[in-house]
């Protein structure tokens, strides 16, 4: 789709019902030169012609005129643009306001161009704030009205163009009642940039000293490593409910036993594995102390019966919490209720910790940097596969790597306008964020159908579609991109036929600049609309205030390298349909696209050298790593191919090493499947089980009958211990492979090129 596109919708005028869109015309404004005119004839129904052989058409003349406005200061990172924002503070004289209220009147203040729009005086409310975009030349209007009426009771109206109000100077106005105005400029609360924030950069500087000391001891180095010689090692965990949380504890315990925790700079998590980190980071020195105690505590919690989480007392508590939350300004959603239930499963008492309060665990570089992941989707009319955007959470910032837009973590959930906080809302307890990261209830029916039938087929379909789309954008495949403009992609052969019979939303293009959508007939169109709603609506959706609201897209946003790296949805070429136009975000579990927390580690600025990929999927081994590798291949992100043999799929070993020797920017990836075939016979590296110990190696991973199924929230002591021991065993058995990968990365950093990395599985 062209960059500057004018969209014209033609509706049937129906006074009795809602007007229905009949045609949508997209026109590329690049066809019109400043000062020039262009006459365009749009053919609306080419399949119908009158008795003279003429088609129904629409003639539109376009003229582009330059309008001189006030000088404007813009802030842009090449993708998003923020306009200069002004704050207008208005105060009505208190005594005058009391007189008016006693007379059953109040003052109505309106700045139509502002975020707030209209505000009214009331008892104890005589001061107001309006957030305005300066270049829109906002105007303040004031009038009197009866408290019980909506009509103006006065003939006089105060109209003040704000361009006449001097900045940073109080202005007094008197017109039957007194006003004071104060106008000032406003700085951004959204960080527009693709670099790591200053806090994370400072953390990395401190962490590399810790890692350098650990590597010197581990590999008996004769001299200290310089900062640029220190490899960045990361742990990447998938989701999987209690199973993922328990197994991650086991993996971290084994890494601690091998003195490797101090070598790790990042830990990324998704869904259930996020619970491990939110628990550990309550202790500012968790990686420096034994993990045995927190494991003992979580084991006790998981073994408890969970009937109490739906008791009358708990339900009353949930209701009270949710009411108080809404009163503070948070948006009501089912996700918040899910978060409280989930908290009751994991903790006996409410966890008062907040994500920003994890910062003391990073201020000396003493622990790895934690990153939590989610995806932002449309709340209806479009599937997760057709639109979703990665969102990262860490103790310092929350943001979209695609847009290069980040806010301070304590401001998440506050109301924003043009990059500025317009209503500060208290930071949520971390349990509410866990509700977002594990938000399994905001999926739509289409998501469920994707993953309940043949997900491999759907994934391959997405890969093919995205490849075609990128070729179209690069000019290698004319017209391929148009297929992605439909709001609903078919997702199976039988459904594809059904949709084809319901709606044939064809696309016509005369010269590459204009596109006309031909809607189906009214009856079929209504059926298709109903069907689309059923498939794509998210009945239990979550909602969060959108901190990108009202920001603009830069003219050349599609050409920006960072945006192109994450440009993977059907709406990316339609700026008027991207996230900045939305009032709210709909954040869900990343598992409805890729159940893998790897994307934050692929941000070029983090320069990750080694990824320890921990897979908690009970299904096909390597599936999540393969999907991430395929995603990276489509997106052009450096990442090694994940290509295990058929034998490895049937009988996975403890660890597999994948690398791309031809691409120095690609990280080394060590994959750890959830289960390995040697655990059944070995209880520790090189130590076989005795006949009486064989039961400890039997792991039931059948999805239908396994005690580790994601829906299970209570484990027996035996089941917990088995899973913990299995995950620890996999790491301990793979010590040499982990050491070799880190050493290889370290030597590359030092420009000491070693012999080829050994990628034989353990």
Which positions are catalytic?
A: 271, 589
Contact 336, 330 (CB under 8 A): yes
Q: How far apart are CA 239 and CA 277, in angstroms?
A: 13
Q: What are phi and psi of 738, to 5 degrees?
A: -65, -45
Contact 107, 120 (CB under 8 A): yes
The DSSP-derived string for 103-150 is TTEEEEEEETTBSSEEEE-BTTB-EEEEEEEGGG--EEEEEEEETT-S
Write the secondary structure of 331-361 as one string of H (helix), E (strand) and C (coil): CCCHHHHHHHHHHHHHCCCCCCCCHHHHHHH
Distances (CA, A) of 478 to 35, 365, 589: 31, 51, 35
Contact 311, 387 (CB under 8 A): no
Contact 303, 723 (CB under 8 A): no
Give the helix ranges, DSSP H, for 258-291: 274-280
Among candidate residues 456, 447, 370, 356, the one with its CA nearest the CA of residue 407:
356
In degrees, rounded to 5, the angle at the alpha carbon of residue 631 between the alpha carbons of residues 626 and 636 is 125
The DSSP-derived string for 284-311 is TTGGGS-THHHHHHHHHHHHS--GGGGS
Contact 142, 158 (CB under 8 A): yes
Of how many residues is the chain composed? 762
Place of tokens 């309060």: 357
Write the secondary structure of 597-615 as one string of H (helix), E (strand) and C (coil): CCHHHHCHHHCCCEEEEEC
Q: How far apart are the first and last CA of the chain?
A: 49
Q: What are phi and psi of 461, to 5 degrees?
A: -65, -45
Q: How far apart are CA 380 and CA 533, in angstroms?
A: 7
Tokens found for residue 639: 């990442």
Q: Are strands 668-672 and 610-614 parallel, antiparallel or unpaired?
A: parallel
Q: Identify any residues that bridge with 20 across adjacent strands, giving them in sequence order.
A: 12
What H or E segment, with its residue span, contains residue 641? none
Q: How far apart are CA 330 and CA 602, in angstroms?
A: 32
Q: Are strands 389-393 and 610-614 parallel, antiparallel or unpaired?
A: unpaired
Place of tokens 């211990």: 721
Q: How far apart are CA 626 and CA 480, in angstroms?
A: 26
Encode 150-182: b = buried (16+ Cβ within 10 Å), e = exposed. eeeeeeeebebebeebeeeeeeeeeeebebebb
Q: How far apart are CA 104 and CA 100, in angstroms?
A: 6
Place of tokens 């505590």: 297
Contact 17, 31 (CB under 8 A): no
Q: Can you state the angle between helices 445-452 and 522-536, rounded to 10 degrees?
A: 70
Q: How far apart are CA 713 and CA 428, in angstroms?
A: 24
Q: What is the dihedral of CA 550, 553, 555, 559, to 10 degrees?
A: 170
Among candidate residues 83, 58, 80, 53, the one with its CA nearest the CA of residue 70:
83
Contact 95, 571 (CB under 8 A): no
Q: Report the side by side order of strands in the sheet with 74-76.
A: 74-76, 80-83, 552-553
């Amino acid at each position: 789709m062209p960059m500057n596109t004018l969209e014209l919708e033609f509706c049937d005028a129906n006074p009795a019902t809602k007007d229905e869109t009949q045609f949508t015309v997209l026109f590329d404004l690049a066809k019109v030169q400043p000062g020039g005119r262009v006459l365009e004839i749009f053919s609306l129904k080419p399949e119908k012609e009158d008795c003279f052989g003429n088609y129904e058409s629409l003639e539109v003349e376009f003229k582009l005129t330059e309008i001189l406005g006030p000088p404007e200061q813009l802030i842009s990172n090449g993708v998003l643009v923020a306009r200069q924002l002004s704050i207008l503070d208005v105060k009505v004289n208190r005594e005058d306001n009391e007189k008016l209220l006693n007379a059953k009147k109040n003052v109505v203040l309106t700045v139509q161009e502002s975020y707030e729009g209209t505000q009214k005086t009331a008892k104890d409310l005589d001061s107001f704030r309006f957030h305005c975009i300066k270049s829109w030349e906002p105007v303040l209007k004031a009038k009197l009205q009866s408290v019980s009426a909506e009509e103006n009771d006065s003939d006089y109206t105060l109209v003040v163009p704000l361009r006449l109000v001097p900045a940073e100077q109080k202005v007094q106005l008197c017109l039957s009642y007194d006003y004071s105005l104060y106008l000032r400029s406003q700085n951004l609360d959204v960080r527009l940039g693709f670099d790591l924030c200053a806090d994370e950069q400072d953390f990395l500087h401190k962490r590399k000293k810790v890692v350098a000391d650990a590597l010197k001891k581990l590999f008996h180095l004769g001299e200290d490593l310089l900062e640029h010689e220190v490899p960045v090692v990361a742990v990447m965990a998938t989701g999987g409910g209690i199973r993922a949380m328990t197994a991650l504890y086991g993996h971290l315990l084994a890494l601690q036993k091998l003195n490797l925790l101090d070598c790790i700079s990042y830990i990324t998590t998704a869904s259930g594995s996020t619970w491990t980190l939110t628990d550990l980071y309550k202790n500012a020195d968790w990686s420096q102390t034994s993990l045995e105690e927190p494991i003992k505590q979580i084991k006790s919690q998981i073994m408890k019966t969970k009937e109490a989480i739906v008791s009358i007392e708990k339900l009353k508590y949930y209701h009270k919490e949710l009411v108080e939350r809404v009163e503070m300004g948070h948006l009501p959603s089912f996700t918040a209720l899910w978060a409280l239930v989930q908290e009751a499963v994991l903790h006996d008492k409410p966890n008062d910790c907040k994500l920003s309060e994890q910062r003391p665990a990073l201020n000396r570089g003493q622990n790895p940097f934690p990153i939590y992941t989610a995806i932002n989707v449309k709340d209806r009319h479009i599937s997760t596969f057709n639109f979703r955007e990665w969102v990262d959470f860490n103790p310092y910032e929350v943001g979209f790597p695609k847009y290069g837009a980040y806010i301070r973590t304590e401001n998440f959930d506050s109301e924003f306008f043009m990059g500025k906080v317009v209503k500060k809302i208290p930071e949520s307890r971390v349990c509410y964020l866990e509700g977002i990261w594990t938000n399994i209830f905001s999926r739509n029916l289409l998501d469920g159908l994707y993953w309940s039938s043949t997900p491999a087929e759907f994934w391959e379909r997405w890969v093919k579609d995205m490849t075609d789309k990128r070729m179209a954008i690069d000019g290698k495949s004319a017209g391929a991109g148009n297929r992605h403009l439909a709001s609903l992609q078919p997702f199976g052969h039988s459904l594809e036929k059904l949709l084809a019979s319901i709606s044939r939303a064809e696309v016509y293009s005369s010269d590459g600049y204009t596109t006309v959508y031909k809607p189906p007939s009214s009856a079929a169109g209504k059926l298709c609309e109903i069907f689309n709603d059923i498939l794509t609506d998210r009945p239990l959706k979550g909602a969060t205030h959108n901190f990108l609201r009202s920001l603009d897209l830069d003219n050349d946003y599609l050409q920006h390298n960072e945006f192109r790296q994450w440009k993977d949805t059907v709406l990316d070429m339609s700026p008027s349909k991207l996230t900045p136009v939305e009032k709210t975000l709909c954040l869900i579990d990343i598992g409805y696209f890729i159940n893998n927390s790897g994307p934050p580690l692929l941000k070029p600025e983090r320069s990750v050298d080694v990824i320890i990929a921990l897979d908690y999927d009970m299904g096909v081994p390597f599936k999540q790593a393969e999907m991430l590798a395929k995603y990276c291949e489509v997106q052009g992100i450096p990442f090694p191919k994940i290509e295990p043999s058929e034998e490895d799929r049937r009988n996975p070993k403890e660890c597999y090493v994948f690398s791309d020797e031809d691409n120095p920017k690609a990280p080394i990836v060590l994959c750890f499947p959830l289960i390995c075939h040697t655990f059944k016979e070995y209880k520790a590296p090189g130590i076989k089980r005795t006949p009486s110990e064989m039961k400890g190696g039997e792991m039931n991973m059948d999805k239908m009958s396994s005690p580790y199924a994601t829906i299970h929230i209570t484990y027996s002591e035996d089941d917990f211990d088995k899973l913990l021991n299995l995950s620890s065993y996999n790491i301990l058995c793979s010590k040499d492979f982990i050491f070799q990968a880190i050493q290889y990365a370290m030597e590359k950093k030092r420009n000491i090129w070693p012999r080829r990395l050994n990628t034989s599985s353990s």
